Amino acid sequence: MSELTLNDVHQKMGEIADKIHKEIADNREADVVQFGKLSADNQEKMDRLNAEYEKLEDRAKEMEKSIADLRTPANHGDTGPTDQETKDAFCSVLRSMWTGQQVPDETKALVYSCDSQGMSHKVLTSYTNTAAGYLLMPPAYQKEIIKVLADLSPIRAHARVLPVSGKSIQIPKRTTGAAASWVSETRTSLTADTTLAYGLEEIPNHELEILYTATLDMLEDSAFPIEQELRSEMAEAWSVAEGTAFFSGTGSNQPMGLETEIAAGTVSSTANGTSATVIQAEAIYKLIYALSSRYANAPGASIFMHRRSTGVFRTLKDGGNNYMWAPGLETGEPARLCGYPIVECTDAEAPTSGIVNTYTTSTYPVIFGDMRSAYTITDRVGMSVQRLNELYAPLVGFWGRSRVGGQVTNGSAIRALLMST
């Protein structure tokens, strides 16, 4: 039994064509000059080569016809194309191989065996492993996870952060200041000041935890360092959770948030004025000038608001028809509102719809002041991750925890805009 492949047929046909061209190039000019035509010997060579070429061409046609008449899996138990459309595609692939074009992934090899009984064939396809689909290159795989990045709160970056070593921390606080008295030259006695008073501000630490489980197969076979990826996910989840708590936490098993402190009266607010839903330009000026100059003029004094609120203020003008928003003074600096840098907070109150100057009544969309003097964050235990090999067997657990606290410790350093009349 002889084995032929399409590449063999193609190569032999090319070799014969080269011989024909060589014979023509080497002998035609001399024979024509001497005999007026090809000599008998050269003509015989040409006829023999042409006959051999035609024989191979016929063989190629038979092979193509054989592929077109492929037997179905139902009749022969073979794995391969099951309809005429797929058969036609294979024939097209054969033609593309003869013309030197690229062979599609659907068929990587066609091998033909010839014997005395006729021509049989075996087709290697990409359909199943039993039909040699494993010979195909696997799909391209990018070692990168597409992520929708979470918006993180900037409060930690602007607040006062204290590392602590106990369940809570107590910070001495002056509750009322001293008062000096004017006296005459002939005063008869000294009067003791009774206004100065101190107290303690206690900030408890709260536990924040997260648990992931993964199979052993995933940990062993993944193209990614799964444990490292889980730690990264935990860090982001922690940042999101604590950022939300710093803004709206209830103080019960979580930090006391800014908005909670404002609603409780720990932080003062300025009413918007003529509308309970639409921010008035003059209300921002009232908010700024209602805060003590000591904190309004502090290096860290800023305006905290949602990003969409920033979009609202970009088109807001004051009574003199001047835009209240202004770009940063230098490249990389934040934009400013009434001269103060804007800090965009993802957890701040946002417009009710899109970038439209409409807000929910009794909310606090803008906070102004020195956040470092106003809000204190305590870190008892930073982010730690423990691998649990037995507790969730056959899964592996990854348990992460941290202990953090936070609350307003100086309500006089900030002031909020209240959406009310």
Residue 91 has pLDDT above 70, yes or no: no
Q: Which two tokens stand for residue 148?
A: 């929708």
Give the number of other Cβ atoms within 10 Å of residue 12's Cβ: 17
Model pLDDT for residues 169-219, shown as the tens digit of each residue: 888 888 888 888 888 887 777 778 788 888 888 999 999 999 999 898 888
Residue 141 has pLDDT above 70, yes or no: no
Task: Check residues 175 and 88 and name the one with the higher pLDDT.
Answer: 175
Domain ranges of the chain: 2-135, 155-179+197-418
Confidence (pLDDT) at 270: 95
Split at pLDDT 50, 70, 90, the class of 118 is very low
Measured N-to-C along each axis, helices 84-98 and 40-68 cross at an angle, to the nearest 10 degrees, of: 150
Confidence (pLDDT) at 117: 45
CA distance 330 to 74: 76
C-alpha 340, offset from chain centre:
32
CATH 3.90.1690 applies to domain 155-179+197-418: yes
Element (H, E) at 307: helix 307-313
User: Looking only at Cα atoms, what is the longest distance across the chain?
Assistant: 153
| Average pLDDT of the segment spanning 93-118 | 46
User: Distance between terminal CA atoms of the chain?
Assistant: 99
CA distance 206 to 254: 5
Measured N-to-C along each axis, helices 6-35 and 84-98 cross at an angle, to the nearest 10 degrees, of: 40
Model pLDDT for residues 150-166, shown as the tens digit of each residue: 567 899 999 999 999 88
Total-model pTM: 0.63
